[in-house]
Amino acid sequence: MSDGSVSGRSLPVDRIVLGDCIAEMNALPPASVDLIFADPPYNLQLSNDLRRPNDSKVDAVDDHWDKFASFDDYDKFTRAWLGAARRILKDDGALWVIGSYHNIFRVGAILQELGFWILNDVVWRKSNPMPNFRGKRFTNAHETLIWCAKSQEQRAYTFNYNAMKVLNDDLQMRSDWVLPICSGNERLKVGGEKAHTTQKPEALLYRVILSSTEIGDIVLDPFFGTGTTGATAKRLGRHFIGIERERKYVDVATERIRQVVPVAAEDLQITRSKRQEPRVPFGRVVESGLLQPGQTLFDQSRRYAARVRADGSLVATDFSGSIHRVAADLQGLSACNGWTFWYFDADGKAVSIDVLRQKLRAEMAADDKPTPAKRPARRSGKVTPMPRRPA
Ligand SMILES: C[S@@+](CC[C@H](N)C(=O)[O-])C[C@H]1O[C@@H](n2cnc3c(N)ncnc32)[C@H](O)[C@@H]1O
C-alpha cells in the first residue's frame, strides 16, 4: 500500500492515493472499477457549537472538509465527483453513496441528471443514534444510501440476492438496515481522540460489498477517511482503491488496513441460486481423482451401496447409471438427487459427495478469478431486474 499519486494511467489497486478525488479519478483509466462506495462531505452547515444539556460540547462534524460556501457550490462539487466516478465505473458496475437529509436529496437529483439509474435507497437505521439534545426536532436516527447502476440500459449489475437472504436468516433482505453506529473498539482513536468524526461501521460496508461485488472485484472509495471500505474489502477478498486528501486519515487507514486478515478463500464462497452455480458433473469428481473407480459409495444409513466406475457411473447389484438414477432405482423412486444421497468413507467418517462438488466449484471460481490487470468486462452473479412498480 502506498499514498503515492497515480502514476501514468495504471490502477493503484490496494493502495490509498493522497489527493483530491476529482483530479485523481480523472487520471484513472475509463471503465476500470467494479464498484464505487462514496461517503462524501455532508455539507452540514453547522454555524454554532452543538452542546449537551450540561453544556459539554458535542463531537459534531465541523471539519473544514465539510464546509461549502453555498448549496450551489456543493452541487458543483457533487456534479464534478459523480461525473468523474461515472467515467471510471465499468458499464456493469454500480455506485453506492451515503448521506443524510443535508445532502442526499441533492446528490440523488444529480445522480439522475448524470444518467445513473437508482436501484434502491437503503435506510441505515442507527440502533444507537445520538439524541437530539435540544429537544427541538426528532432524533436523527438514520442515513440514506442510494444504490445505482451506471445507466438504465446497463442493468447487468451484481446483486448477490441469495447471499443477502441467507445473511438475513432466510428472509429476503429489505431496504431498511438496523445497525449500530461505529463505537467501542472499532472506533479508531489517535491520542485518545476519535481519529475521524464520521467513521462508518464495518457492518454497513460488509453488507454493501457482499451484496454487490464478487471476490476479486475492485471497490473504489473517493472519500476514504479511515478506510472502512478498504478494510472491509480486504477482509472479504476484494481489491480496493482509496482516495483521501488528508494525510492524517491516509496514515490511520494505512495502518488499519495493514492489520486486516482476509477471510480464507473457501469461506468466502456465497450462497447462489441454482442458476448461478457452475454445473459440476459427477464424472469431474472421478476425473480429478477426488474419488477413484472401484470406490464404494453408500447412503447415510448405510442401507444401500454402489461402486464407482471409471466413466462416473455407479453400479449396484441390479442397477447401473448416474448417481441420481442408481439412487432412485435402489429406493424404488422416480427421481433422487444423488449429490445429497451418496456418501464416501474418509478415514472412517461418512462424508457427503456434495462436499467434493463444492470443492470443485470453489476451484473453478478461483481459476475464474482474473488478476485486476487482465480482468475481462464481466462474469457471474448478474441480474436483469424486473421493471419496477411503486409499492
Ligand atoms: C464523510 S468522510 C468519510 C469517512 C469514511 N467513510 C470512514 O468510514 O472513515 C469524508 C472524507 O472525505 C475526505 N474528502 C473531502 N473532500 C475530498 C476530496 N475532494 N477528495 C478526497 N477526499 C476528500 C475528507 O477528508 C473525509 O475524510
pLDDT tens sequence across 27-78: 999 999 999 999 999 998 766 666 666 777 766 667 888 889 899 999 999 9
pLDDT at 64: 85
Instruction: For residues 54 and 58, give the distance between their C-alpha atoms in angstroms, rounded to a whole number.
Output: 11
Closest ligand 1 atom to residue 81 Cα is: 19
- Distance from CA of residue 121 to its chain's centroid? 16
Q: What's the confidence (pLDDT) of residue 303?
A: 94
Q: In what order do the strands lie in the sheet with 343-346?
A: 319-321, 314-316, 305-308, 296-298, 343-346, 349-352
The 8-class DSSP code of residue 51 comes to: B
Q: Kindly provide the residue ranges of all beta strands, DSSP E only, lying in 186-336, ordered along the sequence.
A: 189-190, 193-194, 218-221, 239-244, 296-298, 305-308, 314-316, 319-321
Q: What is the mean pLDDT of the chain?
A: 89
With a 6 Å cutoff on the Cβ, whether 78 touches ligand 1 is: no
Q: With residue 126 as reference, give the H or E element that holds it.
A: strand 117-126
Looking at residue 381, what is its pLDDT? 54
Radius of gyration of the chain (CA): 26
| pLDDT category of residue 378 using cuts at 50, 70 and 90 | very low
Ligand 1 pocket member 219 (CB < 6 A): no
Q: To 10 degrees, what angle do helices 104-113 and 71-88 make?
A: 50
Q: Among 161, 160, 156, 183, which Cα is nearest to 172's?
A: 161
Cα separation of 5 and 12, whole Å?
Answer: 9
Query: Which ligand 1 atom is nearest residue 77's CA?
Result: 19
pLDDT recorded at residue 48 = 65
pLDDT of residue 317: 86
Quick: pLDDT tens for 322-337: 999 999 999 999 999 9
Mutate to test the pocket of ligand 1, among 244, 252, 255, 257 (most ligand atoms within 8 A of CB): 244
Residue 3 has pLDDT above 60, yes or no: no
Q: Whose CA is nearest to atom 15 of ligand 1?
A: 65
- To which H or E segment does residue 283 belong? helix 282-287
d(CA 380, CA 161): 13
For the chain, what percent of residues have pLDDT higher than 70? 87
Burial of 160 (0-12, 13-18, 19+ CB in 10 A): buried
- The bridge status of strand 15-18 relative to strand 218-221 is unpaired
Cα 63 to middle of ligand 1, angstroms? 10
* Crossing angle of helices 202-212 and 228-235, rounded to 10°: 50
The 10s digit of each residue's pLDDT in 296-305 is 999 999 999 9
Segment 215-231 shows an average pLDDT of: 97
257 vs 15: CA distance, rounded Å: 10
Residue 377: predicted pLDDT: 39
196 lines ligand 1 (CB under 6 A): yes
> Residue 311 above 90 pLDDT?
yes
Three-class SS state of 269? coil
- State phi, psi for 235 to the nearest 5 degrees: -60, -35
β-bridge mates for residue 51, sequence order? 57
User: What does the pLDDT read at residue 42?
Assistant: 93
pTM: 0.76
Those residues whose C-beta lies under 8 Å from the C-beta of residue 135, and which sit 6 or more positions away, are none
Q: What backbone phi and psi angles, to 5 degrees, belong to 322?
A: -70, 165
